[in-house]
Amino acid sequence: MSPTRKTREVSTRRGAAAEVQLRPERELRAITSQIFRIAKSLGLPEVEVHVDEVIDALTRFANNAIHQHVAEHGLSVSLRVVVDGRTARVTTNRIEEDALRSTLESAASLAASQPKDPGLLPIPGKQKYRPVRRFSAPTASLSAEIRARAVKTACALAENKGQVAAGIFSSGQSQTVLANSQGLFASYRQTQAEFSVTMQQGSATSWAKANAADYRVFDPQQLARKASERAERAINPVELATGRYTVILEPAAVLDLIGFLYYDFAATAVRDQRSCFSERLGLPLMGKNITISDDVYHPEQLGAPFDGEGIPRQRIVLVEQGVPRNLVYSRRSAKKAHKTPTGHGFALPNEYGEAPMNLVVEGGKTSLPEMIAGTDRGLLVTRLWYIREVEPYEKIMTGMTRDGLFLVEKGQVTRPVRNFRFNQSILQMLRNVEALGPSHRATAEESFEMVVPPMKIREFHFSEVTKF
């Protein structure tokens, strides 16, 4: 057992839930130093090390009671070696001296087992990073008991209204250290909390969710009340004819659709001719009111300010007033395209290259109530579900509405509507945006979190209707 691998002390004070904390950064740095020492003894001059530690806990409830309540704590070490123009990665969660030596040997053996890669770049040197602060001590120490009490209150609300609540309240902390044998050292830690609730009233359902670095940013009971009120309004939906409708997409629905564009902005995807932007950069593919950036430094974003090779992430304007202007680049794709790396590369080796992971869609000034008030006939969409790509170049997506679809008539939300299936090109949708609201961090289930506005869109295509 390595001296750096100490058993965390677990608090068992009466009335207190067990608490586990992240190791000090110096312990993770010591692991990297240990690896570089072993690598040197094995004659491996180029080594990259990722050390990741995760502490997560999640309280899950359904039928107005907790039914799953879990916690995990794990640390993993991922090593990449470069040997004579070849590279390979091996990951382990065993950090004894012998295990690390064996892992390095495995990586060297894997690397040597392939043809030489003429495009492989040497491991990068030291970098400078713009600091980001995304660690909330109160969130890191949020106890099982506090989560359980919040869940109990939300379930009581449901019971009082004759509803059934289901959802999660999770909290966690994580840290990553990336170091290489050329002296690069990057570290990052964050906390994250999430509350998601579905309220069911008979066969009607609605949903609300929030996610942030600090659990105090959102109020679980406010989310529970929002879902509860909407579930009440969703009873006895009417079936409408399929066709093209004006829709008002709440941010969660916008997020889940636009999230499917993220890999299309990768220079590698464009080079491989599998991006919807292949041979289309610089063309007006979207409306002039659409501007999309990737910005890890946005105050509502989470994530490390460096990529899988330790290159600092840059803020990149991807779409400017409807025109896709820029892509993101790893070191390798940048070299091929004679560009500068943007700090969006995945950990090597991989075939995908890079992707923007912190999308920010520029918002507008029309609030959601104003969008509703200005709509003669349309549909208000709470959330989308099971979205999949039907056609990659026009970016036609299919999926369902879920947890609250409402008819808007003459500026008022009038009736709940049975859920529809859509088949809709995202590019066409972004040419049909009539109004945008203010952008904020949104969270759903199909895409990673990003900063997006609600949108009012004309001629959104619903092709079929389901039974509820």
Partner 1 sequence: MWDYCGHSLDVARLRGAAYADVRVMHLLQRDLTTKGGSVGTLGQSESIGLGIRVVVNGAWGFASTDQLTRDGVGACAAQAVAIAKASALAKKSDVRLAPEGVYVDSWQGPCQKDPFEIPVEAQLDLLLKADAALRAVKGVTLSETDMQFRKIDSWFASSAGSKIHQRRVHSGCGIVATSFKDDAIQKRSYPNSFGGQHVLGGYEFIEAMDLLKHAPRIAEEAVALHSAAQCPETRGTLILGGSQLGLQIHESVGHPIELDRVLGQEANFAGTSFLTVDQLNHLRYASPIVNIVADARIAHGPGLGTFAYDDEGVTAQCIDIIKDGEFRGYLSSRETAHLVGLQRSGGTMRTESWNRLPMIRMTNVSLLPGTWTPENLIADTDDGILMETNRSWSIDDRRYQFQFSTEIAWEIKKGKKGRMLKNPSYSGITTEFWNSCDAICGADHWVLWGTPNCGKGQPMQTMGTGHGAAPARFRNVRIGTAFSNE
Ranges within 153-172 binding partner 1 (CB under 8 A): 155, 164, 166-168, 170
Spatial distance between the Cα atoms of 332 and 54, rounded to a whole number of angstroms: 29
Window of 31-39, 180-188, 191-199, 369-377 that interacts with partner 1 by CB under 8 A: 191-199
- DSSP letter at 127 equals -
Size of the site for partner 1 (CB under 8 A): 107
- Residue 282 sits in the site that holds partner 1 (CB under 8 A): no
Cα 102–chain centre separation: 34
Indicate whether 239 belongs to the interface with partner 1 (CB under 8 A): no
For the chain, how far is it from start to end, CA to CA, in angstroms? 57
How far is residue 249's CA from residue 434's CA, in Å, rounded to a whole number?
A: 12
Tell me the closest approach of the beta carbon of residue 366 to partner 1, in angstroms. Answer: 28
| 182 belongs to the binding site for partner 1 (CB under 8 A) | no
Q: How far is the CB of 216 from partner 1 (least distance, A)?
A: 20
Judge contact between 91 and 78, C-beta under 8 A: yes
- Which of residues 4, 182, 321, 350 is near partner 1 by CB under 8 A? 350
Site for partner 1 contains 419 (CB under 8 A): yes
Q: Which of residues 298-337 bind partner 1 (CB under 8 A)?
A: none
Candidates 91-99, 127-135, 355-363, 368-376; binding stretch for partner 1 (CB under 8 A): 91-99
**Letter for the amino acid at 229?**
E
Query: For residues 293 and 419, which CB has a smaller minimum distance to partner 1 in the complex?
Result: 419
Q: Which range binds partner 1 by CB under 8 A, 231-239, 266-274, 291-299, 311-319?
A: 266-274
Give the SS3 label for residue 161.
coil
What span, in angstroms and rounded, lies between the C-alpha atoms of 46 and 228?
A: 56
Token pair for 28: 């993770």
Residues 6+ apart with CB under 8 A from 309: 48, 123, 124, 330, 331, 345, 347, 348
3-state secondary structure of 337: helix
Site string for partner 1, 46-85 (x = CB under 8 A): ----------xxxxxxxxxxxxxxxxxxxxx-x-------
Residue 237 binds to partner 1 (criterion: CB under 8 A): no
Taking the least distance from each CB to partner 1, the nearer of 74 and 438 is 74
Smallest distance from partner 1 to CB 402, Å: 5
Q: What are 349's two structure tokens? A: 């080796």
CA 309 to chain centre: 20
**204-223 footprint of partner 1 as x/- string (CB under 8 A):** -x-x----------------
Please tell me whether residue 363 binds partner 1 under the rule CB under 8 A. Answer: no
Residue 428 contacts partner 1 per CB under 8 A: no
Stretch that binds partner 1, among 128-136, 181-189, 212-220, 348-356 (CB under 8 A): 348-356
Q: What is the footprint of partner 1 within residues 93-132 (CB under 8 A)?
A: 93-94, 103, 106-107, 109-111, 113-115, 117, 119
Nearest to 347 by CA among 22, 7, 50, 55: 50
Nearer to partner 1, 260 or 406 (CB): 260
Q: Specify the residue, 224 or 371, whose C-beta has the smaller distance to partner 1.
A: 224
Q: Is 37 in the site for partner 1 (CB under 8 A)?
A: no
Output b/e per residue, 109-126; b: 16+ Cβ within 10 A: ebbeeeeeeeeebebbee
Q: Closest CB to partner 1 among 285 and 360?
A: 285
Helix (H, G, I), strand (E, B) or coil at 263: helix
Distance separating alpha carbons of residues 440 and 217, to the nearest angstrom: 13
**Rounded Cα gap, residues 435 and 448, in angstroms:** 24
Q: Measured between alpha carbons, how far is residue 148 from residues 10, 151, 189, 229, 378 in Å?
A: 19, 5, 26, 22, 39
Check residue 240 for interaction with partner 1 (CB under 8 A): no
H/E element holding 289? none
- Among positions 397-416, residues that touch partner 1 (CB under 8 A) are 398-400, 402
Selected from 32, 174, 180, 198, the binder of partner 1 by CB under 8 A is: 198
Rounded least distance, CB 456 to partner 1, Å: 22
- Considering only CA atoms, give the Rg of the chain: 24
Q: How far is the CB of 241 from partner 1 (least distance, A)?
A: 10
